[in-house]
A and B are shown apart, each in its own frame.
Chain A
Amino acid sequence: MNGLARASVRFRPASFAGSFVALLFAAAMVMACGTLLQTGVTAHVAPVRYAHVPVVVAPDPDARITVGHGEDRETEGEPLTDTPRLSAAFAPRIAAEPGVAAAVPDIAFPVQGAGLTALTGRNWDARAVEGVAAAQGHAPAAGEVVLDPGSARAAHTGVGRTVTLTAPGGTATYRVAGLTAPGTAATAYFAESAAPRLSGHPGLADAVAVLPRPGVSTAEAADQARHAVGRAADVRTGDGRGAAEQPRLAGAKEMLTAIGGSFGGIAAATAVFVVMGTVALAVGQRRREIALLRAIGATPRQIRRTVATEAVLVAPLAGLAGLLPGVALARWWLDQLVRRDAVPHGVTLAVGWIPMVVAVGAGLLAALVAGLLAARRPSKARPSEALGEAAVERRRPGVIRTLLGTVAVAGGVVLAAVAAHTTGDDAASIALAVVFCFMAGVAFLGPVVAWLAAAILGLPLRAGGAPGALAAANTRANARALASAITPIVLVTAFAGTLLCMQSSLQHESSRQIRDGVVADQVIGSAGAGVPAGTAARAARVEGVADAVGVLRSGALYRASGALNSTSVLGVDGDPAQLPGVLALGLRTGSLAGLTRDGRTVAVDTLLAATAKVHVGDRISLWLGDGTALRPRVVATYSRGLGLGSLLLPRAVLAPHAASAFDTEVLVHDGPGADAGAVRRALADRLGVPGLRVTDRAGYRAQADRDLELNAWANRVMAAVLGGFAAVAAANTLVMTVLDRRREVALLRLAGTTRLQVLRMLRGEAVLVAVAGLAIGSAIAWITLVPIARGLTGAAPYLAPRTAAVLACATLLLTLTATTLPARALLRDARGA
């Protein structure tokens, strides 16, 4: 029997082209996700800055909680939202260990000055970490600074002269005490005593570099460091130091694992789904051949074996061919993530054999199972049934099929209900699972769905003359073939629609809240790292200004039942009573007057309050950006958190724990009767801080949460990958179904149907397929999105009309092209014959 299968694959590769294409793209998608997953699991970065320091004591990059009781107790970790930091007080304790020569706290903070943008401020001792010595001059004393030669040149200064620098802790003029060796990184070294205050986070350091005494091994030094810090911090050596240097690595790994795992799971399921559909279609199209084989004496088993052998011949080849494109996709994806700062530099793609085996194996298995299932019926059918000239469409759908379809749809509904209670990160994955359930339902109930669609949509079609009527009749009679064409269109619409719409709903609601919530007359922003503290106070003294409130935006984690979720947090300067003049948060319960400056109180967004199940008066567990845990009491809830920030804390509480202690913006409320233009000019002139820009309220940066931006991009990529795959599958299926109608087209031509009429008939069918697919796909996307959008934004889903139109047009175009091109080929052949 092997010969038979090989012969048909070799002789008529065209009839396997459809399966091949589906398998290839499936393997590519699975390979890409698998590679990202493996990269996420194995990623590490080699230390650069800490390359000369054998032992680094670094903060834990994750916030951890313990969930469950007794036997089920486990620890859940979630990467911190900003730069993790540890207490600088560890340094002297580590230095006291006998084998340690020095323990230096490493402090880094952004510094700006005229002509200087990306300058890193450091404590003078931190030079020991890099081994940088002052090439000229001496160590900086209070009021002095050591610069790298490049920055000194850019600031038109030199040794013995002065430079004005702005650090999160304030702006001052420093005397340049010395210059580092030429070619070193853009750095400003401050006196050891001054650096902690200037950094904006006194008492905290990014890490502590441990230099062992001569003759003390790295392992011994690490043990002693561990002894000194206990379990309060991680002691890292070797490549582990890279993770300390790039605290974002933990988050990046988690994200890569999530992309590769959850999205990859859905992608793999979709791939299997599409492959099975395609293979089943291909087998179904060979009914005549199978019937002939049956007539001349092939047993059902022999038929099944032939089909299985064909799958085994085609699937591995297609899978192997898909590996390289898959790696290329993963590489592009990772590059983009690195470029978007979501993954630190130095993380390289891990291409391993496991994803390869999974990609090829999944395709093979899917093709095998689908082939066997599809061959089951024709192999069992009596040859006389199959040999009948008129390939009469089969009876009612089977009981199992209907049952599975109903279960899948029910599962989708249940999951959609569950999805209403999820937030941010998990929502996308659950949404995809919901879509997937509905998709499976559509696939199982396909013929019924297709028949209904044909019956309804056929009505207007029949009005369109003979070709229209033919198309309507065909689609109704061939509901099964129609179903296999509609399913991938539904797939494209549902996946792409859900992912894009989820994002646009968030963005739409977020910008609506910003539009309604930012009521300031002027917004002072910065071209660089941020607005230095004190700017707000100075702005408040400018003529025509009633209030000025500095706001600092950062991230935080909060605990909701057994999980840690990330969210955005807004730190506001000054008296909370002034806030309504610049920010209308949409207060719901409680009062901002209760927001104390000691970090024991917080105001939260209503959606977040619902997720965390807290009310005014309750306490909520928070982890600020650097890992500092708080358990403040909720004093108020407000409604515009999505756009403005879901947690509200006093700036003084937030700033020492944010990535940068600069204000993000200063919001200004003009005094009564003040001329907005005059105030803007006055602000621009009088603040005297380089790099500031003053705009009207539109200048408020649209995105409060950088996660949101990244999510938007990630969703677009996922939509493109899944949608692209489904589009290929849809085109593939359509081409296969059109090409299968060679005999019918020839017959129509013989019966006197003109080429144009045949084309019009096929186009009519294509439009019907596209419209039905779009309608069902949109319905699925909508059912999926309503609860999720409500959970995420508290509003109905929103899709920009333009995006919707583009999606619909693209689907229509795809369907028409994939129908018309093979139809033309058929008509050309028919003329030649």
Chain B
Amino acid sequence: MATTGTSAVELRSLTRTYGRGEAAVHALRGIDLALPRGSFTAVMGPSGSGKSTFLQCAAGLDRPTGGEVLLGGEPITHLNENKLTKLRRSRVGFVFQSFNLLPSLTVQQNVLLPLRLAGASPDRRRAQALLADVGLDGHGRRRPGQLSGGQQQRVAIARALITRPEVIFADEPTGALDTGTARDILDLLRRAVDTMSATVVMVTHDPVAASRADRVLFLADGLLAGELHTPTPTAVADRMVTLTARGGTSLGAAA
């Protein structure tokens, strides 16, 4: 573990380009950013602003074209695929919009999967505690197929927390959920930050969801286009309206 004081995630002039020559799409055009530990950051932007690419590069799921990514102060850009994978499973947690869980494993097995992949002994007690934390006590032996969408997202959060990661990356975690369920999920993420001092980076298009974060970053055309601290839904929505009106030019292929 890196010493306290360094940022959980740090990006230095990060660029990501898809394709070559004429057809090249510049999803990220140079982003400098530091996210402190124990913070809850939301990333917003119109379609095609590069927010998914941002998340994937920051999480080590995708390789940037230029610049550098530091996780807990350690540069990950030059790691080979194997090392990157190992880093991911020990220091990063993921919550995706959908298809988070392996349908063939039970809930508890899904939660323990990162430990199992790491070859560590599966800590069943901790898995049960985490499942209780996310409100799924006693659901450990069920299969994902028997759970609702919201419950599946909670399992995903429990799984993301099992390795005590440096950062949890959440890609539209409430995108497929109704308002009430979405609120529960956001509460869980908030609680993880407040009580377990986790660092959460969440991509979303929902101003209400974004307003639960400490800070909202706005992306437009692959560049940072401002931020809001202690946001309110209205302020976030207003800013989004401005951004969308201004930047109708992006091609939307970088999402």
Which A residues are within 8 Å of any B CB, using their own CB? Answer: 1, 3-4, 7-8, 10-12, 288-289, 292-302, 380, 382-385, 387
Contacts and interface: CB of A to CB of B under 8 A. Distances in A.
Nearest to B171: A387
A296 B62 contact: no
Nearest to A300: B81
B29 interface: no
B241 to A, nearest CB: 26
Given A382-B63, A384-B56, A384-B61, A297 B104 contact: no
B102 A297 contact: no
Contacts of A1: 116
Interface string B92-114: 00101001111111000100011
8 contacts: A11-B103, A295-B88, A297-B89, A299-B85, A300-B82, A383-B61, A384-B56, A384-B62
Contact of A296 (B82, B109, B159): B159
Count chain B CB atoms within 10 A of each CB in A4, A289, A295 and give the residue with the most: A295
Contacts of A8: 102, 104
Contact of A12 (B63, B94, B104): B104
Count chain A CB atoms within 10 A of each CB in B61, B89, B100 and give the residue with the most: B61
B158 to A, nearest CB: 12
A15 to B, nearest CB: 9
Contacts, number: 76
A298 B102 CA distance: 13
Which 3 pairs show the lowest CB-CB distances between chains A and B? Answer: A297-B89, A11-B104, A384-B62
Contact of A297 (B62, B96, B101, B114): B114
Nearest to A7: B104
Contacts of A387: 61, 96
B117 A297 contact: yes
B117 A302 contact: yes
Nearest to A298: B117
A298 B101 CA distance: 14
Contacts of A294: 85
B99 A295 contact: no
A4 B103 CA distance: 11
A10 B114 CA distance: 21
Nearest to A302: B117
Given A293-B102, A384-B61, A7 B109 contact: yes
Interface in B113-153: 113-114, 116-118, 143
Classify chain B's interface size.
20 to 34
Nearest to B100: A292
Contacts of B90: 297
B254 to A, nearest CB: 12
Nearest to A288: B99
B86 interface: yes
Nearest to B82: A299
A783 B116 CA distance: 55
A833 to B, nearest CB: 12
A288 B62 CA distance: 16
Nearest to B92: A297
Contacts of B89: 296-298
Count chain A CB atoms within 10 A of each CB in B62, B82, B104 and give the residue with the most: B104
B80 to A, nearest CB: 11
Nearest to B105: A7
Contacts of B62: 382, 384-385
The main secondary structure of chain A at its interface with chain B is helix
A120 B62 CA distance: 87
Contacts of A11: 103-105, 143
Contacts of B104: 4, 7-8, 10-12
Contacts of B116: 1, 3-4
B117 A296 contact: yes
A301 B85 CA distance: 11
B102 A289 contact: yes
Count chain B CB atoms within 10 A of each CB in A4, A12, A288, A296 and give the residue with the most: A296
Contact of A295 (B61, B109, B118, B143): B61
B77 to A, nearest CB: 13
A12 B102 CA distance: 11
B105 A4 contact: yes
B141 to A, nearest CB: 13
B102 A292 contact: yes
A3 B112 CA distance: 12
Contact of B99 (A3, A292, A301, A380): A292
Given A4-B105, A297-B86, A382-B61, 19 more contacts: A1-B116, A3-B116, A7-B105, A7-B109, A288-B99, A293-B102, A293-B113, A295-B61, A296-B113, A296-B159, A297-B88, A298-B89, A299-B82, A299-B86, A300-B81, A300-B82, A300-B85, A383-B61, A387-B96
A79 B117 CA distance: 63
Interface in B205-236: none
A464 B105 CA distance: 44
A741 B197 CA distance: 42
A9 to B, nearest CB: 8
A10 to B, nearest CB: 8
Interface in B42-95: 56, 61-63, 81-82, 85-86, 88-90, 94
A391 B85 CA distance: 22
A257 to B, nearest CB: 46
Contacts of A288: 99
A299 B100 CA distance: 18
Contact of B103 (A10, A12, A293, A298): A12
Contacts of B118: 297
Nearest to B62: A384
A295 B86 CA distance: 10
Nearest to B61: A384
A430 to B, nearest CB: 46
A380 B86 CA distance: 14
A296 B61 contact: no
Contacts of A300: 81-82, 85
Contacts of A296: 88-89, 94, 113-114, 117, 159
Contacts of B99: 288, 292
Contacts of B109: 3, 7
B94 A295 contact: yes
Contacts of A384: 56, 61-62
B215 to A, nearest CB: 24
Contacts of B103: 11-12
A689 to B, nearest CB: 79
Contacts of B143: 11
Nearest to A381: B81
Contacts of B86: 297, 299
A301 B96 CA distance: 24
Nearest to A299: B85
Contacts of B96: 292, 295, 387
B125 to A, nearest CB: 19
A298 B85 contact: yes
Count chain B CB atoms within 10 A of each CB in A11, A289, A384 and give the residue with the most: A384
A778 B114 CA distance: 52
A450 to B, nearest CB: 25
Contacts of A297: 85-86, 88-90, 114, 117-118
Nearest to B156: A296
Contacts of B102: 4, 7-8, 289, 292-293
Nearest to A301: B82
B96 to A, nearest CB: 7
A301 B82 CA distance: 9
A642 B99 CA distance: 67
Contacts of A12: 103-104
Contact of A380 (B81, B105, B114): B81
B164 to A, nearest CB: 14
A387 B100 CA distance: 11
A10 B105 CA distance: 10
A382 B81 CA distance: 8
A295 B60 CA distance: 9
A385 B85 CA distance: 15
A301 B118 CA distance: 12
Contacts of A299: 81-82, 85-86, 117
